[in-house]
């Protein structure tokens, strides 16, 4: 039988250093192996959201990207003609805080479609902002003429019953997208 190693402070520290180094190396290896696939999946998810909100395009939306104050603008084209803008925007005014949407605009500033990307709103109430009954009311509207506030606040938007805070937040995020779009496109009409 082999000699038992004495349990001293130095031996314990060396053991912990060896275990920590081995685990760090293993985590680094896993990170390097999964980094690429995670980035590709994230890129594809972004492109899929863009495809949902703008008309057909043949350009790479990730090649013409700009960012302003946390809002990301993807400009797309079809046969070298502007097809629209997909704008990833957000608000912190949701009932549960952060809401992220992708809003699609035509070149004239008209809303083409909007999809909710991320939220933590109340199930059965605030989550109804993803329902077509609520979200479709924005399609085909130009925020230069359509007041992006709930009717209770003097706007044109029918709020979700019992979820006015979520409705206001959705409108806030959409208004932020429109305001950002106006900063990069001079032809957008202003109310």
H or E stretch at 15: helix 9-53
- Tallying the residues shown for the chain, one arrives at 191
Residue 2 counted as domain residue: no
d(CA 153, CA 159): 10
Instruction: Decide if 36 is inside a domain.
Output: no
Would 160 be classed as within a structural domain?
yes
Question: For residues 55 and 168, what is the distance between their CA atoms, to the nearest angstrom?
Answer: 26
Give pTM, 2 decimals. 0.77
pLDDT per residue rounded down to tens, the chain (191 residues): 556 667 788 888 999 999 999 999 999 999 999 988 888 888 888 889 999 999 999 998 888 888 999 999 999 999 999 999 999 999 999 999 899 999 999 999 999 999 999 898 888 888 889 999 999 999 999 998 999 999 999 999 999 988 899 999 999 999 999 999 998 876 554 44
Residue-number span of the structural domain to which 136 is assigned: 53-184
Is 46 within a domain? no
18 located within any domain: no
Return the H-helix or E-strand segment holding 28.
helix 9-53
Burial 115-141 (b: 16+ CB within 10 A, else e): bbeebebbeebbbbbeeeebbeebeeb
Has residue 29 been placed in a domain?
Answer: no
* Residue 13 belongs to some domain of the structure: no
Q: How many domains does the chain have?
A: 1
**Residue 93 is assigned to a structural domain of this protein:** yes
């Amino acid at each position: 039988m082999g000699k038992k190693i004495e349990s001293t402070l130095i031996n314990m520290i060396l053991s912990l250093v060896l275990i920590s180094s081995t685990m760090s190396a293993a985590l680094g290896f896993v990170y390097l192996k999964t980094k690429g696939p995670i980035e590709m999946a994230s890129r594809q998810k972004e492109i899929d959201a863009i495809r949902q909100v703008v008309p057909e395009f043949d350009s790479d939306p990730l090649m013409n990207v700009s960012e302003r104050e946390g809002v990301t603008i993807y400009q797309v084209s079809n046969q070298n003609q502007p097809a629209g803008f997909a704008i990833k925007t957000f608000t912190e005014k949701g009932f549960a805080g952060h809401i992220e949407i992708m809003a699609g605009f035509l070149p004239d500033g008209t809303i083409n479609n909007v999809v909710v990307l991320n939220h933590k709103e109340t199930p059965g109430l605030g989550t109804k902002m993803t329902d077509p009954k609520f979200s479709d009311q924005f399609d085909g509207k130009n925020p230069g003429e359509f007041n992006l506030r709930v009717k209770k606040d003097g706007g044109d938007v029918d709020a979700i019953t019992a979820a006015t805070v979520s409705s206001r937040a959705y409108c806030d995020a959409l208004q932020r997208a429109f305001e950002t779009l106006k900063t990069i496109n001079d032809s957008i009409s202003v109310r």
